[in-house]
Amino acid sequence: MPATPYPAPRSLASAPGGAPADAEVDAVRDPSLPGQGYHLTTGPEGIAIRYRDAAGLRYALQTLDQLRADPGFGTTGYTISDHPDFERRGFLLDISRDRVPTRRTLARWVDILALARFNQFELYTEHTYAFRDHQEVWQDASPLTAADLRWLDDRCAAAGIDLVVNQNTFGHMERFLAHPAYTGRAENPAGFVRGGQHRPPSTLAPTPENAEFAHRLLTETTANVRARRLNIGADEPFELGTGQSRDRAAREGLGTVYFAYVTALLRPWLAAGYTVQFWADVFAEHPGLLERVPPGAIPVVWQYDSPRHTAEVLAAADGESAAWQDRGTDLTRLADGFAAHGKLLAEAGIPYWVAPGAANWNGLVGRLDNAVENMADAAAAGLAHGATGYLLTSWGDHGMWDPPSVTFAPAVYGGGASWCLESNRDLDIAAVLDTRVLLDAAGLAGRALERLGGVYRLFDVPMLNGSAVARTLFDDPSLPLPRLPAPDALDRAAAALAAADGEVTVRELLHAATLAEFAVDVLRARVAANAEADAIDAVTARRLLHRMDALLAEQRACWLLRSGPGGLEDSVTRIEPLRRRLLRAASR
């Protein structure tokens, strides 16, 4: 049987008669091929490669290595033509939501991304870089240092990957603004209300002084990497127009105030020859701003639930839609997927990227089918409407309790879908994980990841950006469970979690499954009481608290296998509201 390279090439033919084991490779540059493309033939006459550029040669040799590893290489000849759908294929790893990976883990990621043919790696930071002048912000976070970035940049360059700084510069600045020395920079120093809950300040006021402050942060980090690329974030400035900029927003318009600040951030980097990405949130409500996007600036369109999944939430009459609408979310646009926003940018003639999500966050064991559908939709819409790049995102909401291995499957699929959607749409993710990532000859670990990634559906409670597991463990009054699962749904989820099987990955997965089982049992107790966790019976609450202590000990142990200690305790505190509820119940 012919070998199956990964990612699956857009054109592959095989015939009897393979290349000799010691065959030399005749490699010739061919400018007529598409960028990063190659044509590879193997057979009795030898091995020939035509390639467009250095990347094309790299990918041809990668494919050849996979073919050579197959026992049938000497008896089967191959003709392969291949090139990518998207010129830029990026992977974003959030390291600001407590979990900062060790060098060993980062090296593992580089290997996986090179396999999946990503050519850009972004480490999303807020406070987890050791800035020279801001030690009080990062001192307890196990931050990456300048030496770490230089080391990682070297590692990425050797693998054909650009390491790109991704530093937020507008919203999501709460880790800075929590300290008195920075509070004056906030749009609302006293905080703000969102979803009915008071929240600490998170948005910089759109002032020239803050633009210069953000520029200094970017200057310090970019000095450690080769790439003339940068991501300034600038998403979700929730408080904008409600504090220091209120009067200006009333005069000029909120969109104008937003983009004036973003332009001030962009200007010096574009003048220096950088390509600069920023999140495209603003254009959904302020399409008139599109004409102000300067050359070299790349809006990135994000969406993290598939259209099908969003439609299920809209169809459910259980309050989930209303909760998100109260947060200002346009659910109708989300149900359209990437197409509507992409078409808007394409019609404006602006180069842009699509950014689906790995759906690892807010799920503990992932939401794999939603991630696959979301990634495929991003690729299809991006191809249809001229996107020039594809950025798969792995976020860390609620302290990134999910183990890194949960994101391996989405990374494998996202790499294939962004390379060539047509040939990788139906990729056997588990097989690729077992043979090329986890190296599990028994073929168990990949399937275990797939099964765990589907557990969230068994609860039969559709929700956006999360699962019943996370909503149970990490209390957010503004996003409660829309309804309790039915008892038979809990039985199905418990059975699926008990079947998890599959060194570090196995331990992580078993622990994640055990945590999810704990969430199922909390839900069982809530269903029995038809109430919140603080109203369940005292005996059950004490039993759950006893289990929680052991689970937290194992969470700490698994975390330290791949990540620095800095954000661990902050992450662990995310489950404290549930503990307090159980303590109240146990003390009755």
CB-based burial label for 25 (10 Å; 0-12, 13-18, 19+)? middle
User: What is the share, in percent, of the chain residues with pLDDT greater than 70?
Assistant: 99
- At 46, give phi and psi (nearest 5°): 125, -160
CB atoms within 10 A of CB 157: 14
Task: Name the residue ranges covered by the structural domains of the chain.
Answer: 11-82, 88-303+338-355+384-397, 452-586
In the predicted model, what is the mean pLDDT of residues 409-417?
Answer: 98
- Read off the pLDDT of residues 354-367 as tens digits, 9 standing for 90 and up: 999 999 999 999 99
- What is the C-alpha separation between 144 and 162, in angstroms, rounded? 17
CA distances from 169 to 166, 221, 263, 471, 552 (A): 9, 13, 12, 29, 33
Q: Which tokens go with 345?
A: 């940018």
| Beta-bridge partners for 81 | 11, 39
Task: Specify the CATH superfamily of domain 88-303+338-355+384-397.
Answer: Glycosidases (3.20.20.80)
pLDDT at 509: 86
pTM of model > 0.85: yes
Phi, psi for residue 51 in degrees, rounded to 5: -140, 150
What's the pLDDT score for residue 417? 98
- For position 95, what pLDDT does the model report? 98
Cα separations in angstroms, 391 against 118, 262, 394, 482: 9, 20, 10, 31
Q: What is the pLDDT of residues 192-219, one digit of tens each?
A: 998 788 999 999 999 999 999 999 999 9
| Topology (CATH level 3) of domain 11-82 | Chitobiase; domain 2 (3.30.379)
Q: What does the pLDDT look like over 537-578, one tens digit per residue?
A: 999 999 999 999 999 999 999 999 899 999 999 999 999 999
Distances (CA, A) of 477 to 195, 329, 486: 9, 17, 22
**Which residue spans within 129-228 are E strands per DSSP?**
162-167, 192-194, 197-199
pLDDT of residue 328: 78
